Amino acid sequence: MNNKETWVLFLRALGEHSIDFLKKLWEKRVTLVISGSILFVFLSAFFLGGAYVVWSGEQARVERSLEKYRSEVSNFYDNFQPKSIKILDRGGKVIGEFYRRNFRPIRTDNLKKHHMILWAVLSSEDREFYSHGGVNYAAIGRAVFTNLIQFRLSQGGSTITQQLAKLTLNLGKRSLFNKLTELYCTFYIESQFSKEEILAMYLNQIFLGEGNTGVEEAARYYFRKPATELTPEEAAMLVGTIPAPSVYNPIRNLGIALSRQKRVLYDMARNPELNPDQSEIPKKFGESIEPNVKKFKIFYKVKEYKGEEGEPKYSSDIGKYGADKDFRINLAPDFNAEVRRFVLESFSNEDLEERGLLVYSTLDLDKQRMAEESLRIGVDSVRADLVKQERELEAKGKPELAEVTKQILPQMSGSVISMDPETGDIEALVGGYKISNSFRFNRAEDARRQPGSTIKALVYALAYEKRIVNPSSKIKDEKLDFSGYSPKNWYKGYRGEITVRTALAQSVNTVSVKLLNEVGVNYFLSKLGQILFLSEEEIESRFQKNLSLALGSGELSPMELSLIYATLANGGRRVTPRKIIKITDLDGNEFYQTIPNEAAEQILDPVACAMAINTLESVLTEEGTMTLKKKEGEVNLFAGKTGTVQSPKTKKSKWMGIKGVRDVWFAGLAPRNVTVVWVGHDEGAPFPGSGSGVSGGIWLRYVQGVKSKIGFGNQLIPSFVGDFVKVDVCADDGTLLESSPSYICKLPLYSQFYYIGDLPQKRAGFAKPEIPPQTIVGDGEEDESEISTYQLQNGKEPPPGVDAVELEPPVIETQKVPRSE
């Protein structure tokens, strides 16, 4: 057999085997297709059947809700009067009263009067609303195709009816079961209601951010006008928030909201036929979008500026007076806003409108008014200093610097938060300088700033807990160099050997950095995370792992700082802040209740916390940065820490080199009370002041008022069980206080906590060290720029101040934004 014949036989055999292989493959393919089809049918039946079971269980509830919505959009809804929700302080005084709605919702008979919002919502959310039967299959196909191309969920295909079904069912987490259940609900809605009813119900139920349900409520909140008077730009901004209200609303993220506003406006320009009132479409609408958006920004005073990290930030008058309409009574605006948000998110619309709810809160109205007054007086003092600075600069022929100072003055603000560390109850909360009903940024809870030296209390507590030092230990104030990091003190030079107590009292930076180095940055951050309920991921994103943390380089809100000090005051047990005690209806039926600080985790050793509080007492003595003069033998009821953050050089250029500080803090302790005060400028502008001189003064006025009008206990550190002894110490040198006639002590301290076996030494020859003059340097890394002295009032009321609460009447303005034709 020659080679040619061999190849022919080989190819023939190969062909025969290939045909057999293909036949087998085809048979397997048919089997797979049949199996796959059966599986597909089974899964489809399973999911569709399961979804139908869920829908059957929810249908009765949904029908009741939809009938309620139908009554809202019908002409006879006017007679319905929703009941109010009242917020009571801990003494039963009404501090807030609001309604879920205090206006008439959109109805079918006035639907077309809302032509701008209809045009915007149909153009952006559902262009084929009037032609589909509830599901737009073409839109779903387009969305799937687009998402597959872009490899992400960038587009949805839900119709307005589907969105109303989702809102009504409120099944929670997105899943295939829930999506199919919503389809059953969608078909039910389309079969039972007219398109006008569906659209009106949707506009009344859609959530638009900041606690606003419905277009009418949101229009009044953000723009102070009824929804019938919205301009295209305003309507577009509202509709732009629909996909993600917590992210896209103009209060939280104005930059994103402005971007989405343009997107909706261009959708409107492409679909002019969707405006029910063609006569209200501006001429050359598409061409005038950019100039009209520019006029919108001017009207609402939209300003862009650079944030701390150089990222763009925005400010505006959008939503500035948003809270006016929310409350009939509002004596604690920042506190009440948080309570209202919780109530709206936790209760159904039916409960909110048909039951009269009573919210028993932790706030003490008398303390709230004292906190408001104290903050107002303190910030006014800073503003007065800025006015003086402005005049001096004018007199020196520096008009540019005078003008910058003038711009800084009106934005000076502050916050106060006061809590009971044992229960976590928030007793006073002021989120800004101007106490009014208007929308304000709640700086007490939402603003994060560098806390400066106030963070040192935690560093010292951890150093005590690890037995690295005790308050009487000697430690050297000297020049340091940790791999190039060399912290500076707020005074020139170094003081040599001093006690640990003196180091905290005088806020010595080098000692704090030394102690943090011994404690360990990772250990410090882990304890901080436990105190503040922070995950490891959040700690890594918010705090840089370096020794500058000892000087307050991380950022904390006043609420977070108050929790750190509350943990110290609570013997090292974690503190959970609480605003609401319980919620009932008018008949006393209880719907919600909290237990104060239940099963609190022990985070820090109680002995170390007591030692830290003892050391913080020294801050308020003659050797500290904030001296409180009191009678000899008078029981000490106060402790605390000042904190002053200097303006960095990179920021000074923005403010033309004007000198000053950026943030001033005081964290104070009294019997069963922790109060944190912050004063500053939202954009970090420099101003004259210090933690002791400004924030410390605000705190002292507040606690003196509480002491004289309400009263405190007589024990700063609560009783606890631990490995400790209490001894009398001379703060002059940290030695044990003796009764010998020859023993002279200028600063005696009584009943100080120490670990057993780690007591102060007896004095063996004593010469009080001379402290160098406290010369302030402008380029210090951070801390006090002055030392302040106060005279305790000894039970007398502090001098009277301005009226505590300034209430602004609710106003709905109906001006229209100027526009181009």
Q: Are strands 748-755 and 735-736 parallel, antiparallel or unpaired?
A: unpaired
Q: Choose which CATH entry (1.10.287.4070, 1.10.630.10, 1.10.3810.10, 3.40.50.170) describes domain 84-153+193-357.
A: 1.10.3810.10
Could you report how far apart the first and last alpha carbons of the chain are, in Å? 95
Considering only CA atoms, which of 251, 227, 229 is closest in space to residue 103?
227
Give me 780's structure tokens.
């210090």
State residue 809's pLDDT score: 29
State residue 581's pLDDT score: 96
| pLDDT, mean of each 10-residue run, the chain (821 residues) | 50 54 58 59 58 73 84 66 87 89 78 94 93 78 51 59 87 69 86 92 89 86 89 96 89 91 95 90 90 94 73 81 68 90 82 84 96 92 91 90 87 93 95 60 86 96 97 94 89 91 93 96 96 93 92 92 97 95 92 82 96 95 83 81 82 76 94 96 87 90 93 89 92 88 83 92 65 38 51 50 30 34 34
Cβ atoms of 453 and 782 within 8 Å: the answer is yes
Query: In 332-395, which ranges are continuous DSSP H helix?
Result: 333-346, 349-354, 365-395
Contact residues for 797 (Cβ-Cβ < 8 A; gap 6+): 704, 705, 708, 709
CATH code of the region 373-432+445-579+600-791: 3.40.710.10
State residue 774's pLDDT score: 42
What gap in Å lies between CA 695 and CA 677, rounded to an integer? 6
State residue 678's pLDDT score: 95
CA count, 13 A, side-chain hemisphere, 509: 28
State residue 469's pLDDT score: 96
Query: In 570-633, which ranges are continuous DSSP H helix?
Result: 606-618
Q: DSSP secondary structure string, 6-30?
A: HHHHHHHHHHHHHHHHHHHHHHHHH
Domain parsing of the chain, residue ranges: 84-153+193-357, 373-432+445-579+600-791
Burial of 16 (0-12, 13-18, 19+ CB in 10 A): exposed
State residue 158's pLDDT score: 84
3-state secondary structure 98-147: ECCCCCCCCCCCCHHHHHHHHHHHHHHHCCCCCCCCCCCHHHHHHHHHHH
3-state secondary structure 494-522: CCEEEEHHHHHHCCCHHHHHHHHHHHCHH
pTM recorded for the entire structure: 0.70
State residue 121's pLDDT score: 95
Cβ atoms of 679 and 413 within 8 Å: the answer is yes
